[in-house]
Each structure stands twice: as C-alpha cells, then as structure tokens.
Amino acid sequence: MDLLNLIFRLGVLFAIYGFLWFFIELGLTFLRAGRQKTMGENYLIKSVKYLFLVNVTFLFCLDLNQNNVSFYNAMPSAIVLATYFIGKLQQQQQRLQLFGQLNAQIPQTNDFNLKTEIILIVASIGLFIGFLFFPQYASNNIANWFKSSILDIESTVIIGFIFKIIGFFFLLGMIMKMINAINYIISGKPVVDIKTNINSNSKKDEDKFDDFEEIN
C-alpha cells in the first residue's frame, strides 16, 4: 500500500511539474521569437528540466522519510523516476514509428536522438543516486521554489483534484507496466504490445516505401 501511495504521489508531482514547465517553455518560445529550436538547445532545455525534476523528487523523498533517506528507502522513487523517463522515451519512439507506419511526414523539429536520450536518462538517475551521498546539494532556491509551487497547486481544491486524477491514471499506468514486465519475464512477451497493434493496423500498406519503418 505504501508503494501504491508513493507512485500516486509521484504521479501528481510529475504532472504538476510538467504543468509548471509548460509555462517556462512557453516563455522560452516567446524569447526565440518563432525561431525553431536546434537539437542542442532542445537537449540543453531537457537536461535542465530533468535535472530539477530529479532534484524535486529527491526533496519529496526527504519529506516522506522525515529527512532520513537511505539507499534502501529511496530506490522505489528512483525506479518510478526511471520508469517515467523511459516511458517518455518510448512515447517519442512510438510517435516516430506511427508517422512512419502511416507514411505521414514527420514534423521537422530535429529534436530526437536516441543515444542522447539514453545518456540523459542515465545521467538523471545517476544524479538522484548522487544526492543520496550529498543530500546537502539537493536544497537550492530553484528546487525549493518548484517544490513549494507543486505543494501549493496540489493543495488547491479544483486544480489539485484534477492533478490527483492524473496521478491516479499514472498509478494505473505504472501497475500495467509492472504487469507487462512480470509477464515478459515469465512468458517472453508483454500483455500489451503497442508496436504490435501499430504494425497490425498497417499491414495493408506493407508494399509502400517507408523511410521510417524501423526505429530502434
């Protein structure tokens, strides 16, 4: 039950953090005056986004464990965080694959590089583990602002309730991923395979040329 509560609370945290970051990116878009982001700019922004999400998540762990975080009691949060990042990566891959399967033009945003994504995820989890050994560096003005803003939004009646609904669906999604992982270990295949569904829906177009047929 504690694990389910943790996943739910982190789901709410991730949702509200994404909500706050939306306005930050909106401001950066205005500053660019319509100029398209380069890949370097995109990953610089994403690196900062992930860094402070890891930072805020660790502060959240400190609160849950009454400022007594150990490798043991922080690992569930680290696993949920890693699963969240991997899920984001898979969404991007599936979006690209879907465009390819439908023979649609992929938006020229130039913002995806698999190797860089993996490095960013590994570095983010490494940062979380680093905070376990140097927790004093987790407390800073920006992270504390994010944390207090998230708690303030969560405590509001209407908006907070909406984000709690998102947290509930995040919990269901995490449970489904756990079931898929267990089933994959036992039977060698997940319960739900989105790639299989996409491929089955596009079998009638197999004779057409597709530059993005396979994305690893």
Q: C-alpha angle with apex 124: 72 to 189, nearest 5 degrees?
A: 75
Contact 25, 45 (CB under 8 A): yes
Rounded to two decimals, the pTM is 0.80
Average pLDDT value for the chain: 81
Kindly tell me the number of DSSP H helices and DSSP E strands found in the chain: 7, 0
Confidence of residue 22 (pLDDT cuts 50, 70, 90): very high
Structural domains in the chain (count): 1
**pLDDT tens digits along 41-87:** 999 999 999 999 999 999 998 887 777 777 777 888 999 999 899 88
User: Does the pLDDT of residue 192 top 90, yes or no?
Assistant: no
Enumerate residues 6+ apart whose C-beta is below 8 A from 102: 202
Residue 132, in any domain of the structure: yes
Residue 215 domain-assigned (yes or no): no
Containing structural domain, residue 115:
2-205
Q: Is residue 214 part of a domain?
A: no
Q: Is residue 211 part of a domain?
A: no
The answer on pLDDT for 147 being more than 60 is yes
Is 216 a member of any domain?
A: no
pLDDT at 196 over 50: no
Find, among 43, 41, 76, the residue nearest to 61 by Cα: 76
In a domain, 213, yes or no: no
Tell whether 128 is covered by a domain.
yes
Query: What's 149's DSSP letter?
Result: H
